[in-house]
Amino acid sequence: MISDLTLLIRRWSAWSHARGFGFSFECQGRYTRLWRTCTSEANCVSLGSHLAHVDGSFADPEKIRELANKVDVLTVEIEHVDATTLEEVRLAGQGNKLAVHPSPSTIQIIQDKFRQKQHLASHGLPVSDFVAIESSVDSISDVAQKLGLPLMLKSRTMAYDGRGNFVLREVGQSQEAIQFLGNRPLYAEKWVPFSKEIAVMVVRTVDGEVQSYPVVETVHKDNICHLVFAPLRSRNASLSQRARSVAENAIKTFSGAGVFGVEMFLMEDGNIFINEIAPRPHNSGHYTIEACETSQYENHLRAILSLPLGSTALKVPAAAMLNLIGYSSSMAEITETTNVALSIPGASVHLYGKSECRKGRKMGHITIVADSDAQLRRRLRPLLESLPGSTP
Ligand code: ADP
Ligand code: MG
């Protein structure tokens, strides 16, 4: 069982970043197998040779039903799935002990950012002010009066990597914002003048127990995660514990097992607001593959398979993760950075095997581990200098 699990995690970690695919697991006695539903055969992973994977979209009810019929445990690595069908198969499969993790109701709440914020606020968790709006200039003007400028306008659904956000700096931009955000339901968030963005991965067992990973600092560029530093450094000794408690308390309010990413804003005065939650392995947790005793992927599998969780502790003094984000339709710039990484001690390159490179698309990441913060900075510098547009 354990060696199967190790193989499965290694293969999943390698493939999981080609986002947009669902996973399922089957546990039969000693064996655990993995399939992914996918839109192209080239992107499939299948462990276990006698049962084929299912090719198809995670938003296709028929494909979800087909997959559910073959497996004992069903999980996801993206929240934009058809959660209604997941709930249907969960109810239909209860007699056959089909488990769906995290629960479809959790995915439903999280996939609508406005509902997610309402859920967190109703449980007394710290979030900044937010208001549902119509896609109209009048509605945006009203909310700008109420919450002030700048104002963060967000799509409630189908948003990722900043692609559902518009920063409204003046009311005159309202029409532009509506056009940019397209035909999606919207809401507005009060602007948060944070001093840092931080994040915590939390793993939740089938019995609802939670365990958190160390707090990390995340650095975003153009609304996309650019760098992650672990652990968070702060002169305030109690900050990390407080941030871990906020994240753990948030995940306690949801149902179902698995790993969750909790993105937070840290204010100058030490206050913390939750930005958003991901019900799956998360970009801010990729560093755990090399830097923690148990990676986010392994603990996700352990949680949904009702195995004991592994330690979430760091096993190195310092770690950083650099996202490899496409600059154009060519992989040339990415390759330049990965070539530099190959000569840096403690650097591990992860490429996701995506068939096309595009500006703003996450193509891979590099993790660096080090014995000290100073060594980490020294190892990171040549990588940052290799990025297009960097000033040497
Ligand atoms: P995504 O789903 O694309 O990650 P987020 O809601 O996390 O979208 O927003 C992306 C980034 O935009 C955040 O990491 C943060 O840098 C910035 N951001 C989001 N909400 C706010 C806000 N209310 N005030 C200021 N900055 C924000
Ligand atoms: Mg985010």
| Alpha helices (runs of H) in 230-372, residue ranges in sequence order | 239-252, 288-291, 296-304, 332-341
* Pairing of the two strands 73-76 and 99-101: parallel
Ranges 33-37, 281-285, 349-353, 372-376: which has the least confidence: 33-37
Q: How far apart are alpha carbons 303 and 164 in whole angstroms?
A: 31
Q: Please work out whether the CB of residue 218 comes within 6 Å of at least one atom of ligand 1.
A: no
Provide the β-strand partners of residue 212. Answer: 202
Residue-wise pLDDT for 49-108, tens only, equals 345 578 888 899 999 999 888 888 999 989 999 999 999 999 998 777 789 999 999 999
Structure tokens at 316: 């190195």
- The Å distance, Cα 38 to ligand 1 centre, comes to 29
Asked if the model's pLDDT at residue 24 lies above 50, the reply is no
Residue-wise pLDDT for 256-295, tens only, equals 999 999 999 999 999 999 999 999 999 999 999 999 999 9
Which ligand 1 atom lies nearest to the CA of residue 218?
14
Q: How far apart are alpha carbons 20 and 201 in whole angstroms?
A: 20
Q: How far apart are alpha carbons 228 and 218 in whole angstroms?
A: 4
Tell me, what's the pLDDT at 353? 93
Q: Please work out whether the CB of residue 98 comes within 6 Å of at least one atom of ligand 1.
A: no
Percent of the chain with pLDDT over 90: 78
Q: Please work out whether the CB of residue 79 comes within 6 Å of at least one atom of ligand 1.
A: no
Measured over the CA atoms of residue 362, residue 364, residue 369 and residue 372, the dihedral's sign is negative
The residues, any chain, with a CB within 8 Å of residue 145's CB and separated by 6 or more, are none
Tell me, what's the pLDDT at 391? 66
- Nearest ligand to residue 284 Cα: 2
Tell me, what's the pLDDT at 6? 55
Asked if the model's pLDDT at residue 355 lies above 80, the reply is yes
More confident residue, 191 or 28: 191
- Whose CA is closest to atom 13 on ligand 1? 223
- Nearest ligand to residue 153 Cα: 1
Tell me, what's the pLDDT at 274? 98
pLDDT level of residue 38 (50, 70, 90 thresholds): very low
140 burial type by CB count under 10 A (0-12 exposed, 13-18 middle, 19+ buried): buried
Global pTM reads 0.90
Ranges 73-77, 166-170, 189-193, 241-245: which has the least confidence: 73-77
Q: Please work out whether the CB of residue 240 comes within 6 Å of at least one atom of ligand 1.
A: no
Ranges 220-224, 275-279, 329-333: which has the least confidence: 220-224
Structure tokens at 264: 């937070």
Strands (E), the chain: 22-28, 31-37, 73-76, 99-101, 130-133, 151-155, 165-168, 186-190, 196-204, 210-212, 216-221, 224-230, 258-266, 272-278, 318-325, 347-351, 362-370
